[in-house]
Chain A
């Protein structure tokens, strides 16, 4: 049995038909990037779909050729890990609207031969999931053992259980909510405004020219602040100064936290498209699982077992939002297990707090597999 997944390649799947979006618009052709790890068993009962967060991609585990670091959830996916590739066939799917190999605003619009930019239609989490459903059909899997993800991934998981109840045996919803609060929308809006205020943004028509690097970088910095907790920031940076320990009395960066944010912002610009940031944050802000309906009656239609995980120091998607999901599931009589894992990492905990997640996910999947 291999100890790691070896060199992984991202694959892509192009939908045979156009995708009709929630807005009524049609999008096509639609390509979705994905990766798989482990082997699908004979009766195709061991497939788990992994869904990523806002800035993630299909590369969840293993190494790409030339990678400096492995996939974003490599500590959770692999032989003997929480999502054990010796037992399960793992599919990690990207989202439409993104910029990591799936159709999004930076893709070429076949009608014009130019990148879509803002002519790309606004997509929703429902649309993302509808595209992923086509991928699962293409892989000839009729029922997923589990659909799992954190943050935006968790919202996609919830949408899967509602959109395709027959296909989801279990749902692992981590650090997510059924809808965004005004505060969550507000943080996203500041990020979007930063991008749109950048003169290089050019109403989204910047492809082939200078990208709105400053705007996207600021958007990412705001994101990072919300992903950490006060405590994790205090532990990591406190008031520590960069360089020689003296204040510089200017506006270059004195504090380590400033340097960290600038570095995170700058490096993000190298790997992410500003328009994708606009589209995906919008999709998240639009997300509202219950919509006009009551959450209990919406979740009553699901046919999954649920594992709902939250983290004590996550103030972006606080535990009470997970408890809202759990409460509605209990009222609708669904099988649900929930845990609030003690962690000081804030919202980032779903990526780094491996121990607790690795203790609860394997026995949960074991029970569901029976």
Chain B
């Protein structure tokens, strides 16, 4: 299992109600249903991914995270997950705040755009970085937002969002030393 998935599974209490925003093929959700006995649903914008979700036995809504969240009542879910989808939304602040409204806790997974590898590409090559975690060229990237782990912590502080847990990783390793430089992905458990 991917380390990021394992960390998210560890964040989540058994039998929880979960909403996965940008759920892709539904593999994380189906894992949560099987291993944590969660109930849940997803939101996904890609039509082909919707078919895969249904094949994976989960219910899913075909639409845009930016608008779909408005459809849920307050604290409808125990957890709302934004795993590697926040950087692709048009209004990330609104989405996080909405996620915190409909979920008691929110899990966010973000790619670190200030990993040393990315910094080195900018510094030495003078080019916008392309790495394993950020594989897209500037002209075809789905990412609309470019942030570091430090930026995200700063954002949470400024918006009175409590970070209950932070796990920073690179590949299948936990990175605890200087994560903003060495970690490629940051996973956060949030509450407001």
Using CB atoms and an 8 Å cutoff, list the residues of chain A in contact with chain B: 305, 323, 326-327, 330-331, 333, 335-342, 356, 359-360, 363-364, 366-367
- Assembled-state Cα–Cα distance A330/B69 (Å): 10
Q: Which of B47, B53, B63, B71 makes the CB contact (< 8 A) with A342? A: B47
Judge whether B59 and A363 touch: CB under 8 Å: no
- Assembled-state Cα–Cα distance A338/B53 (Å): 11
Q: Which of A327, A337, A366 makes the CB contact (< 8 A) with B60? A: A337
Judge whether A360 and B73 touch: CB under 8 Å: no
In chain B, residues 54-71, which have Cβ atoms closer than 8 Å to a Cβ of chain A? Answer: 54-55, 57, 59-63, 71
Please indicate the chain B residues that have their CB under 8 angstroms from the CB of A331 in the complex: 71-73
Please indicate the chain B residues that have their CB under 8 angstroms from the CB of A337 in the complex: 50, 53-54, 59-61
Judge whether A340 and B47 touch: CB under 8 Å: yes
Chain A residue with Cβ nearest B59: A337
- Assembled-state Cα–Cα distance A104/B101 (Å): 52
- Assembled-state Cα–Cα distance A340/B59 (Å): 14
In chain B, residues 116-163, which have Cβ atoms closer than 8 Å to a Cβ of chain A? Answer: none
Q: How large is the interface on B (under 10, 10 to 19, 20 to 34, 35 or more residues)?
A: 10 to 19
Any chain A CB within 8 A of the CB of B76? yes
Q: Which of A330, A336, A363 makes the CB contact (< 8 A) with B57? A: A363
- Assembled-state Cα–Cα distance A339/B61 (Å): 7
Judge whether B71 and A327 touch: CB under 8 Å: yes
Q: Knowing A331-B72, A331-B73, say if A326 contacts B51 (CB, 8 Å).
A: no
The 8 closest A-B pairs by CB, nearest first: A337-B59, A330-B71, A339-B62, A359-B51, A327-B71, A363-B55, A363-B54, A339-B50
Most-contacted residue by chain A among B51, B60, B62 (CB, 10 A): B62
Q: Which of B51, B61, B63 makes the CB contact (< 8 A) with A360? A: B51
Please indicate the chain A residues that have their CB under 8 angstroms from the CB of B55 in the complex: 363
Judge whether A336 and B59 touch: CB under 8 Å: yes
Using CB atoms and an 8 Å cutoff, list the residues of chain B in contact with chain A: 41, 47, 50-51, 53-55, 57, 59-63, 71-73, 76
Please indicate the chain B residues that have their CB under 8 angstroms from the CB of A356 in the complex: 47, 51
Judge whether B61 and A330 touch: CB under 8 Å: yes
The prevalent SS among residues of A at the interface is: helix
Chain B residue with Cβ nearest A365: B54
- Assembled-state Cα–Cα distance A326/B62 (Å): 10
Q: Knowing A337-B54, A360-B54, A363-B54, say if A326 contacts B59 (CB, 8 Å).
A: no
Expressed in whole angstroms, the minimum distance between the Cβ of A320 and any Cβ of chain B is: 11
Chain A residue with Cβ nearest B48: A359
**Interface pairs (28), CB distance under 8 Å:** A326-B61, A326-B71, A327-B71, A330-B71, A330-B72, A331-B71, A331-B73, A333-B76, A335-B41, A336-B41, A336-B59, A336-B61, A337-B53, A337-B61, A338-B61, A338-B63, A340-B62, A342-B47, A356-B47, A356-B51, A359-B54, A360-B54, A363-B55, A363-B57, A364-B54, A366-B57, A367-B54, A367-B57
Please indicate the chain A residues that have their CB under 8 angstroms from the CB of B41 in the complex: 335-336
- Assembled-state Cα–Cα distance A100/B73 (Å): 45
Please indicate the chain B residues that have their CB under 8 angstroms from the CB of A338 in the complex: 61-63
Please indicate the chain B residues that have their CB under 8 angstroms from the CB of A335 in the complex: 41, 59
Please indicate the chain A residues that have their CB under 8 angstroms from the CB of B54 in the complex: 337, 359-360, 363-364, 367
- Assembled-state Cα–Cα distance A363/B61 (Å): 15
Please indicate the chain B residues that have their CB under 8 angstroms from the CB of A340 in the complex: 47, 62
Please indicate the chain B residues that have their CB under 8 angstroms from the CB of A327 in the complex: 71
Expressed in whole angstroms, the minimum distance between the Cβ of A85 and any Cβ of chain B is: 21
Please indicate the chain A residues that have their CB under 8 angstroms from the CB of B59 in the complex: 305, 335-337
- Assembled-state Cα–Cα distance A153/B87 (Å): 41
Expressed in whole angstroms, the minimum distance between the Cβ of A357 and any Cβ of chain B is: 11
Please indicate the chain B residues that have their CB under 8 angstroms from the CB of A339 in the complex: 47, 50-51, 62
Expressed in whole angstroms, the minimum distance between the Cβ of A321 and any Cβ of chain B is: 14
Please indicate the chain B residues that have their CB under 8 angstroms from the CB of A367 in the complex: 54, 57
Chain B residue with Cβ nearest A296: B73
Expressed in whole angstroms, the minimum distance between the Cβ of B72 and any Cβ of chain A is: 6
- Assembled-state Cα–Cα distance A168/B146 (Å): 47
- Assembled-state Cα–Cα distance A305/B103 (Å): 22
